[in-house]
Amino acid sequence: MDNSFEDATFREYFINDSSKSSIVKATDSKIIGKTKINVEEDGQHGVKIILKKDDKDAVKEIKFICSCGQTKSILLEYTEQ
């Protein structure tokens, strides 16, 4: 059965960029979580909305991209108490 309606999940990496090289070594990176990305487009106003979610579907980042090239982001951080 085709799973085309499922959200794609991507691995999210942290890369230590202290080496200032264009080559990333395995020792300089680690997986810090999983991310789902959903893209919605408002054709009337030319704004693309990108929702970045964690693997539990909690929204972590909302990015607005205007057709003029400007980008605004809202980062959300959840802490358990």
3-class SS of residue 68: coil
- Encode burial over 15-32: b for 16+ CB neighbours within 10 A, e otherwise: eeeeeeeeeeeeeeeeee
Specify if 1 maps to a domain: no
CATH of the domain at 55: 3.10.450
Q: What is the mean pLDDT of residues 39-43?
A: 75
Specify if 2 maps to a domain: no
Specify if 81 maps to a domain: no
Specify if 51 maps to a domain: yes
Domain assignment of residue 22, given as a range = 9-75
Dist CA 49 CA 59 (whole Å): 13
Chain centre distance of CA 52 = 4
Number of domains in the chain: 1
3-class SS of residue 39: strand
Q: Is the pTM of this model over 0.75?
A: no
Average per-residue pLDDT for the chain: 77
* CB of 28 closer than 8 Å to CB of 19: yes
Residue 15 confidence class, pLDDT cut points 50, 70, 90:
confident
